[in-house]
């Protein structure tokens, strides 16, 4: 594919005011009517200070749907030179759509009330936002689209409310300290996932003024042929590693067994996520794209918790691809883990920070624990085309 694709605008939307750690449980609601005993340890481990929820603090009711969050992010792309009505492709990624069907992208399209255009949605977990971006990029490079928009968005808070978790989470704090994975097994996801959306405008030429991001390539890999499911919702994991679907339970069991709650196999995560998404994934990217660490100006890693930051660095060192951490950019501590939106929300903040200059190269890393996948994105900062 010989065509070009450039990110010419980046937008993000975070619903409501930032929620600090002290207000987290009051906003989400208590599990079994009492505070978590492991929460403090989880928060110290993940390093998140503030995050956003699409929840009205006065009523506890949702303030936005997942589709509305994505639509708000897309609206941030509009400018004097670009009207949303020009969008000819809308590609939307999310982990938890508001409904099983229709397509999440169709719901975002409806929120925006755009003219008819091509619409797609990618499902999955964190990598669904990258898949949407790759679809839009390939369409532009192939000459199919002139103004493609990709988004990643999450409304995880809808599934993090206290009433979704009926089982006791009373792990002793001392045990959590001795074995951090225990925190993941109980409260990790409630104390880490949050809401937000991001979007990019992708066009076949750079913006006429200011900076753009030339899209060099996006590489994704799945290792589901080797690994069982790790992160899931709408199912239960059986002893043999397979999933039992919500459709195979009596409806009376959906709540009592927390079938629709977001779950994660913490032991499997801790043992394998870095090996598959960094050790294996990064080596494959180096082989396929002949990428050198010294050529990367900024590294934008998506990790669910600061607990993993040094583990990512160690995996990169084993892969022979060392980027000093002063060249890393993350906003996990202030924006929270927004899943499929996280890479967009990082890009939006860095893009508007004033830190970028022409020639800088950005490498984005997005792992997914769903059934072990990884994605890498390489972007080059550029100015307008020279006449």
* CATH number of domain containing 301: 3.40.47.10
Residues 168 and 292 in one domain: no
Q: Are 153 and 197 a contacting pair, CB within 8 Å?
A: yes
Checking if the pLDDT of 175 tops 70, the result is no
Domain count, the chain: 3
Residue at 204 is within a domain: yes
d(CA 172, CA 128): 35
Residue bearing tokens 């067994």: 257
Residues 181 and 218 in one domain: no
**pLDDT at position 184, please?**
46
Residues 196 and 242 in one domain: no
Q: How far is CA 321 from CA 221, 296, 369, in A?
A: 18, 10, 22
Express each pLDDT in 287-306 by its tens digit. Answer: 999 999 999 999 999 999 99
Residue at 279 is within a domain: yes
For residue 372, what are the domain limits? 214-222+265-382
Express each pLDDT in 304-321 by its tens digit. Answer: 999 999 999 999 999 999
Positive or negative, the Cα torsion across 207, 363, 232, 307?
negative
Q: Are 221 and 234 a contacting pair, CB within 8 Å?
A: no
| Residue 161 main-chain phi, psi, to 5 deg | -65, 150
Residue at 277 is within a domain: yes
Q: Residue 109, CB half-sphere, CA atoms under 13 Å: how many? A: 20
φ/ψ bin of 13: left (φ > 0), alpha (ψ from -120 to 50), beta (otherwise): beta
Percent of the chain topping pLDDT 70: 93
Closest C-alpha to 90, from 116, 65, 69 = 116
**pLDDT at position 167, please?**
55
d(CA 115, CA 230): 39
| Residue 318 main-chain phi, psi, to 5 deg | -65, -30
* Angle made by CA atoms 290, 293, 295, in degrees to the nearest 5: 80
pLDDT band for 183, please (50, 70, 90 cuts). very low
Output the furthest CA–CA distance in the chain (Å, rounded): 67
Residue at 255 is within a domain: yes
Residues 253 and 369 in one domain: no
Residues 304 and 201 in one domain: no
pLDDT band for 42, please (50, 70, 90 cuts). confident
Please list, in sequence order, all residues whose beta carbon lies within 8 angstroms of the beta carbon of residue 150, skipping any fewer than 6 positions away: 91, 92, 93, 129, 132, 133, 135, 136, 137, 199, 200, 202
Q: Are 369 and 273 a contacting pair, CB within 8 Å?
A: yes
Checking if the pLDDT of 179 tops 90, the result is no
Residue at 371 is within a domain: yes
Residues 253 and 270 in one domain: no
Residues 258 and 269 in one domain: no
Residues 185 and 326 in one domain: no
**pLDDT at position 187, please?**
63
Q: Are 231 and 264 a contacting pair, CB within 8 Å?
A: yes
Residue at 125 is within a domain: yes
Closest C-alpha to 204, from 280, 267, 148 = 148
Q: What is the mean pLDDT of residues 363-372?
A: 98
**pLDDT at position 188, please?**
73
Residues 69 and 203 in one domain: yes
Residues 183 and 245 in one domain: no
Residues 269 and 259 in one domain: no
Average pLDDT score, the chain = 93
**pLDDT at position 266, please?**
86
pLDDT band for 1, please (50, 70, 90 cuts). low
Checking if the pLDDT of 371 tops 70, the result is yes
Checking if the pLDDT of 181 tops 90, the result is no
Residue at 63 is within a domain: yes
Antiparallel, parallel or unpaired: β 89-94 and 148-154: parallel
Residue at 1 is within a domain: no
Please report how the helices 66-75 and 104-112 are oriented relative to each other, as an axis angle in degrees rounded to 10. Answer: 50
pLDDT band for 207, please (50, 70, 90 cuts). very high
Residues 314 and 245 in one domain: no
pLDDT band for 41, please (50, 70, 90 cuts). confident
């Amino acid at each position: 594919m010989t065509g070009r694709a450039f990110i010419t605008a980046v937008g993000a939307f975070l619903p409501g005011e930032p929620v600090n750690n002290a207000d987290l449980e009051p906003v989400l609601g208590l599990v079994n009517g009492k505070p978590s005993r492991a929460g403090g340890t989880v928060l110290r481990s993940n390093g998140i200070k503030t995050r956003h929820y699409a929840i009205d603090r006065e009523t506890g009711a949702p303030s936005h749907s997942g589709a509305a969050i994505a639509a708000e992010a897309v609206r941030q792309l509009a400018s004097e030179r670009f009207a949303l009505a020009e969008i000819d492709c809308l590609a939307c990624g999310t982990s938890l759509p508001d409904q099983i069907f229709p397509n999440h992208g169709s719901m975002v399209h409806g929120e925006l009330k755009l003219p008819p255009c091509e619409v797609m949605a990618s499902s999955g977990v964190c990598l669904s936002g990258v898949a949407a971006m790759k679809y839009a990029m390939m369409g532009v490079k192939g000459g199919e689209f002139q103004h493609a928009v990709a988004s990643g968005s999450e409304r995880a808070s809808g599934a993090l409310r206290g009433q979704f978790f009926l089982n006791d989470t009373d792990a002793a704090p001392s045990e959590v300290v001795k074995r951090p994975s225990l925190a993941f097994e109980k409260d990790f996801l409630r104390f880490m996932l949050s809401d937000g959306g991001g979007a990019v405008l992708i066009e076949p030429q750079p913006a006429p003024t200011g900076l753009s991001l030339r899209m060099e390539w996006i590489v994704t890999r799945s290792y589901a042929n080797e690994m069982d499911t790790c992160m899931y919702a709408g199912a239960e994991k059986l002893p043999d590693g397979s999933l039992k679907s919500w459709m195979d339970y009596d409806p009376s069991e959906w709540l009592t067994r927390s079938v629709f709650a977001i779950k994660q196999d913490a032991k499997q995560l801790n043992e394998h996520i870095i090996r598959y998404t960094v050790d294996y994934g990064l080596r494959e990217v180096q082989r396929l794209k002949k990428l050198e660490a010294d050529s990367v100006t900024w590294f934008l890693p998506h990790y669910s918790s600061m607990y993993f930051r040094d583990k990512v660095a160690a995996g990169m060192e084993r892969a022979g691809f060392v980027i000093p951490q002063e060249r890393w950019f993350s906003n996990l501590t202030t924006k929270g883990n927004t899943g499929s939106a996280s890479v967009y929300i990082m890009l939006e903040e860095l893009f508007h920070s004033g830190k970028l200059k022409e020639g800088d190269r950005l490498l984005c890393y997005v792992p997914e624990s769903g059934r072990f996948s990884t994605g890498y994105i390489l972007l080059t900062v550029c100015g307008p085309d020279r006449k």
